[in-house]
Structures are given as structure tokens and as C-alpha cells.
Amino acid sequence: MSRKQAMRGIPSYQRHKASGQAVVRLSGIDFYLGVYGSPESKAEYDRVTSEWLALGRRAPGKATESSELLVKELILGYYSHLAATNPEIADKVKQALKAVREMYGETKASAFGPVAFKAIRLRMIEAGRAITTIRDRMGVIRRMVAWGVENEMLPADALQRIEAVAGLRAGRDGVKPSKKVKPAPEGDIKAILPHLGPVVRVMVELQALTGMRPQEVRLIRTGWIDRSSELWLYRPVRHKTVDLGKDRVVPLGPKAQEVLRPWLKADPDAPLFSPAESRARFLGELRARRKTKVQPSQQDRRKKSPKRRPGSTYTRDSYKQAIERGCRKAGVPVFRPNQIRHAFGTRIRKEFGLEAAQVLLGHSKADVTQIYAERNLALASQIARDIG
């Protein structure tokens, strides 16, 4: 997110009449910046508002008072930070931190340590969560604590203390092992297509042809696709391993191009697949099938202030729910978006081998060299020409 985007909602630079100084109020605290209109005061405004944003919209002066900070305030700051910088995962993080807020929300954040960390984990075990879910959610807590240390909201040793807690092992201490995610049968994937809306149908077809992660297909933009050669290359700006400095390239063969071409947009940054557009298409189809004339009173029946508006992109849940509805309508066992990806991987592994499946699915290791990455892209491109 650019600073211009982040600046939305930031209190403005103002003049304090009594003193003639510049002032900005952040989280209920007035910060005096120097002589109003001076370059120094404007530089100070940039500094304190930048710190305020970095701290999850908490006043910089209060952020260092770690002994007074409550866990619920730490959670709010971390969630606000993610909502501004990585909104795709903000809701997932909110769910992961629910138990932390319920159990320790009123506790001082500086006192949050290994015992609390293990108590939250035990609650998840008792709730019957699978080991992968527990590990994922405990990882969220670790990242929140690391963010708190980085921004001087927690003591410097806070992260070291919780990292001293031994990891879980499946089958021990009542920890439930994770169920193996099975691939969706190809026949079932084809069966649900007629029961999906036009937008979701294209998303499912594209995912089945390429093995993209659900997030990659939900966020795709025209500007992220290199169409300069016979084989198109989709480079998602946001993907699972972007924070590790890794590049993700999805080759799009002739079939995938045919599916995608009608949905490309003139605006390179506009999402190709939008719930708002899906709803507009659905209503347009209803009007087209209507046999009687639309009455004047029915020309525009939109609510003036609807409680919920269709979003610009599908969320993880809305895409999943659309597929689940399609499964029920088609009368096939319910499957989820990741199972479409698994089906692709299973097919590629069977026809082209394990390495090909790893390459096309974007699996990688930290020690992969650039030469190996180039070989991967060449292999992925050849298979995409053949099948997708």
C-alpha cells in the first residue's frame, strides 16, 4: 500500500490558535509539531503519522508504554496493521486470534508468555482442532508478538520466551492429526460448472487448467499477465511465498488463454473476477429471459442503503461457498477450491512426474538457485503448452 492510500483517514495537519504551533491529534493525544507552516513542522507531521500507521494507528507516545498495553490493544493494533497492508489475510488472522482475546484480552501484553501460549494451544486441542490448524494459528500469535517487539509495544524478550515452547506432535497429548486433503474428482469438477454463475465458472475452469492457489485465481489482474509471447505468464503480485522473496510464475497455455481472454480488462489493475460484476451479469440474464415488459416501478429496485454490497474481489469464503453451492446443486460430494488444485497436481504427477507437479504448483525450497528456477519455468511452460 502506498503512503497516499494509507493517508486516508489520518488526522490532518492543523494550526493551534493559542500557541501558533502546528498540531495533529492521534488516538486522542495532541502532538505539537513546531511553528505552523514551517518545513520542520511538516517533516515532524510526516514522522509522527508514519509511526502512528506503523504501530497500527496507535499513538507513538503510548506505544512504548509496553507495561500498560493490554493484549486486546495489541491484537487491535496488529489487525489494523494487516487490514491496511495485507487485507487478504486480515480476516483469517482475526479468527486465529479470537481465543487469545477471549482468554487474555484484559491481561497486560508484557505478561503474555509461554504459559499463556500453551494454555491457548490446549484450548484448541480440547476443541478438537487438527494439528495443522493449531500450528497455523499459533504461528499467527508468534507473528503478532514479533510485530509487537518490532514496534516497541512489547519487551525485547517477548518473542524469545514463547519460542521456547516445544512444538506439537500429532498423536501425542490428545492432538488430532490432520485429515489428508483428497483431490476433487475431475468428473465432479465438470459436473458443477453448469450450476455456477459465469464468473465463478471461469474461475473454477482456470484453476483446474493451471493448478493456481485459490488466492491467485481470486486476485488475478490483466496487468499481472505477460502476454508478449505465445505462452502467457501470470506473475501474481501477492502470493503465499512473496514475503520470502520468491517469485511465482503461472504459465497459461492455449486452453487457459481461451478461458481468460474474454475477461481481460482495459484497466490493468482492475480485478478480473468481481462479485459485483457477477451479480450484474446474473440480473442482466434474468432481465433478458423476462417475457413481460418491465414496469416503471421495477426499473430500479436497488436498496438505497443495503447492509451488504458485493465486493470488488471474491474472498476466500465467498469463493468457497459458491463452489459448495454448485456441488449441492449438481448432487456431488462437496469439495473446496484447494481440492481443485490437488486434482491438478495429482494429474500432473501421474502424467509428468513429481518434479513437474512441484514446479507447476509453485512448491519450492529456500536453497533453490536461479538456474534451477529457470529450468523450472522451462519445464512448466512446456507442460502448459501441452495441457493448458
* Domain layout of the chain by residue ranges: 3-54, 71-163, 186-287+313-387
C-alpha cell at 187: 468428473
The angle subtended at Cα 63 by Cα 59 and Cα 64, nearest 5°, is 135
Distance CA 242, CA 216 (A): 12
Burial of residue 188 (CB within 10 Å: 0-12, 13-18, 19+) is: buried
- Measured CA to CA, the distance from residue 220 to residue 209 in angstroms comes to 15
Write the DSSP symbol of residue 181. Answer: P
Measure Cα distances from 211 to 12, 65, 68, 93, 223 in Å. Answer: 46, 48, 48, 25, 20
Listed residue (184, 238, 176) closest to 208, CA to CA: 184
Q: Which are the contacts of 91, defined by CB distance < 8 A and separation ≥ 6?
A: 315, 316, 317
Q: Give residue 383's pLDDT.
A: 67
d(CA 85, CA 53): 10
DSSP three-state, residue 301: coil
Which residues have C-beta within 8 Å of that of residue 42, sequence separation ≥ 6? 13, 22, 33
Q: What confidence score (pLDDT) does residue 378 get?
A: 66
Collect the ranges in the chain with pLDDT lower than 70. 1-9, 28, 55-56, 58-67, 170-173, 238-246, 278-291, 293-311, 355-357, 363-383, 386, 388
Identify the pLDDT of residue 367: 37
What cell does 12 get? 490532518
- Which helix or strand (DSSP H or E) is residue 25 part of? strand 21-26
pLDDT score recorded for residue 274: 84
Q: Is 344 helix (H, G, I), strand (E, B) or coil?
A: helix
What pLDDT shows up at residue 349?
81
- At residue 108's C-alpha, the angle toward residues 102 and 111, to 5°, is 100
Residues ≥6 apart with Cβ < 8 Å to 266 = 222
Q: Which residues pair with 161 in a beta bridge?
A: none
State the virtual CA torsion across 375, 378, 382, 387 in degrees, nearest 10.
90
Give the H/E segment covering residue 34.
strand 29-35
Whether the Cβ atoms of residue 354 and residue 223 lie closer than 8 Å to each other: no
Q: Is 301 exposed, middle or buried (0-12, 13-18, 19+ CB in 10 A)?
A: exposed
Copy the grid coordinates of residue 261: 481472454
* pLDDT on residue 203: 94
225: which strand partners? 234
Nearest residue to 341 (alpha-carbon basis) of 216, 215, 208, 250: 208
Handedness of CA 329, 193, 189, 278 (dihedral sign): negative
Residue type at 180 in one-letter notation? K
- Give the C-alpha separation, 310 to 360, whole Å: 32
Q: Are 334 and 340 in contact (CB under 8 A)?
A: no
- Which class in CATH covers the domain with range 186-287+313-387? mainly alpha
Retrieve residue 348's grid coordinates.
500432473
The span from the CA of 64 to the CA of 77, in Å, is 13
